[in-house]
Amino acid sequence: MRLTRATSYALHAMLHLASVKSDVPLASHQIAQARKVPERFLLKVMKPLVAAGLLHSVKGPHGGYRLARPASQITLLDIVEAVEGPIRGQPPYSALPGNHQLEKLLENICNEAAEKTRQYLKSVKLTELLEK
């Protein structure tokens, strides 16, 4: 499994917001500065986190971002799938004739691996990442 830089930025933002332990929204430039993340890229990953219901976006001069629910209720899976999309098994496509049985076997293996990955990521809470 490979995570993109966007997911890394999203994790940094979520961890920073969880560490603040305040309901006061933080501006994106404050998060970017604290985590040494480029603000323009950070803003791109905040949008899907808001859309996924992980963050609240507050408009206005005292606006910013805050967690939409407690860090103990946010999983690594929530964050990864908000940014990357659903984790799915993707077997290689083979156009070779007569390989239908092998293709079906590979599809089942890839789907099972994806489900195990999803279950593991779901077991890791944002609070656990804060403690490490």
Residue 76 has which token pair?
């690594």
Number of domains, the chain? 1
24-77 residue pLDDT tens? 899 999 999 999 999 999 999 999 999 999 999 999 888 999 999 999 999 999
Place of tokens 């305040």: 22
Provide the CATH number for the domain around residue 67.
1.10.10.10
Positive or negative torsion for Cα 45, 48, 52, 55: positive
Rounded-to-integer distance, Cα 56 and Cα 51, Å: 9
**Could you tell me the pTM of the whole model?**
0.88
Q: Write out the residue range of the structural domain in which residue 31 sits.
A: 5-131
